[in-house]
Amino acid sequence: MDVAARKRTLERFGLMHLGAVHENLPPARLVEAAVRRREGLLAGNGALAAKTGKRTGRSPKDRFIVEDEATRDTVGWGAVNQPFSSEAFDRILRRATSYLENLDELYVVDAHAGADPEYSLGVQVVAENAWQALFAQQLFRRPKREELDEFEPDWTVISVPGFLCDPERDGTASETFVGLDFSRKVVLVCGTAYAGEIKKSIFGVLNFVLPADQGVFPMHCSANMGEEGDVALFFGLSGTGKTTLSADPSRYLIGDDEHGWSETGIFNFEGGCYAKTIDLSEEKEPQIYHAIRFGAVLENVGIDRKTREVDYTDGSITENTRVAYPLEHIDGAVQSGQGGHPSAVLFLTADAFGVLPPISELSPEQAAYYFLSGYTAKLAGTEADMESEVEATFSTCFGAPFLPLPATTYSRMLSEKLREYGSRCYLINTGWSGGPYGEGERIDIAATREMVRAVIQGRLEPGSTRTEPFFGLNIPEEVPGVPTEILDPRATWTDKEAYDKQAERLASLFRENFLKFEGEVDREVMEAGPSA
């Protein structure tokens, strides 16, 4: 984009009297700027280490969507998708841009979201901080230098962590505000330096525009591909092993978090990965460990200021320590970001109740049920004010915070894709066996990898399953390389009566959660869950 065109783009949002505007700087210069401005430290492994301040994760209660003609009758409004008036958004936008005009420096990144050119979205990020510009450059797809001359943004993200809202004046929930305006095609992120808000806001945009406008199924999942071009998808909430299991040295990584499924196959929305680093080790996750080098961005990770040695066990700031790095830092990553139709779809759950089988084959109806349920469990210490050691978490479609449309829109698209392309679907429990959290043991990651490989490679004998009584799940009789005795969860418990009570408890939580979809899904889907 030429200077005049860029100026017009920024002026569209009231940005006219700016200081130095640094456009599409290479990673080395952004690292230099971040260090010069004392935004972060250069770690011993070459990564830039930054801290996000008060907010160390997403702020879902501070996320709003402007309610207007474009969204009024299409968005699934509620606790996740909170409405915000266009007038109030405009007032905050004007004050935020005035704040930016008083800064000495500003950083602009032009990028794409979507590896398939037919569905790619032009994204321009305007950032107060150099390190956030580096984050955006590494996470989104980077245009070639010659493409930047013709770049025109479809959407703009304005990130101003130093600008704090006034809830009484602005009508916000706090000093933090994440607002999506589908008419102006702008995202405004105020009062938080957590860079994940930049990434996830555009994911929310794609979850709105792709199904409605282009018939593409947007997915919160990771994806990899084998030597023969066989594609596997991994759905799962934080802590279920989505990033770990998709980063398989024997396969090629397409992406670790966000993808679309079109008529021609699947494609990555991003050009990088955003992985959790708490307790990261070279032994357990070698691909991620070696991807953290110059150009990567560490968030809230412990650093020795004298030696600059990184401590991945340090959760003193937050357990949600993160790293962002470009896909090319992963050996064997699929640089095109595209693959064919998936042969295997895996739902990952970390069941801390200890009752779900480690592997279950799902019918299309069961796939829709467990996709809409989006179950995992959270443990004591992971969130404040937990009332028990283990609590069930249901995040619709394994990504409720990012779904602007009604959830059944996405579940119908999944069912259609599974039927049309014959993809096999399995539920994989990466959680506990032999008892709940605190009593049983976490299912061995090596065994889980063998189960995943058996699914992907089609080594499970079709129809050779037995039905689990509480959830109606179909458990394979055998999985090559996996001890048969761990496949039946009840058999791993010493106290069978205690297992039955725990299983019924979790089954009732599933049924209670799914009542909200009554009347919105087919009877076959309603009946695909745990029996009463």
pLDDT in tens for each of the 532 residues of the chain? 555 455 556 667 677 667 789 999 999 999 999 999 999 999 999 999 999 999 999 999 999 999 999 999 999 999 999 999 999 999 999 999 999 988 999 999 999 999 999 999 999 999 999 999 999 999 999 998 888 888 999 999 999 999 999 999 999 999 999 999 999 999 999 999 999 999 999 999 999 999 977 889 999 999 999 999 999 999 999 889 888 888 888 899 999 999 999 999 999 999 999 999 999 999 988 889 999 999 999 999 999 999 999 999 999 999 899 999 999 999 889 999 999 999 999 999 999 999 999 999 999 999 999 999 999 998 644 443 434 568 899 999 999 999 999 999 999 999 999 999 999 999 999 999 999 999 999 999 999 999 999 999 999 987 789 999 999 999 999 999 999 999 999 999 999 999 999 999 999 999 999 999 999 999 999 999 998 6
Assess contact for 180 and 201: CB atoms under 8 A.
yes
Give me the helix-helix angle, 364-373 and 407-421, nearest 10°: 150
Going along the chain from its start, the domains and CATH numbers come out as: 3-37+58-214 (3.40.449.10), 341-526 (3.90.228.20)
Rounded CA separation 194/200 (Å): 11
Three-class DSSP category at 532: coil
CA neighbours closer than 13 Å in the CB half-sphere of residue 78: 12
Catalytic residue numbers read: 58, 200, 220, 238, 242-243, 257, 322
Rounded CA separation 97/179 (Å): 14
Rounded CA separation 366/363 (Å): 5
Which residue, among 286, 276, 349, has the nearest Cα to 313 in the 3D structure? 276
Rg (CA), the chain: 23
Rounded CA separation 249/226 (Å): 10
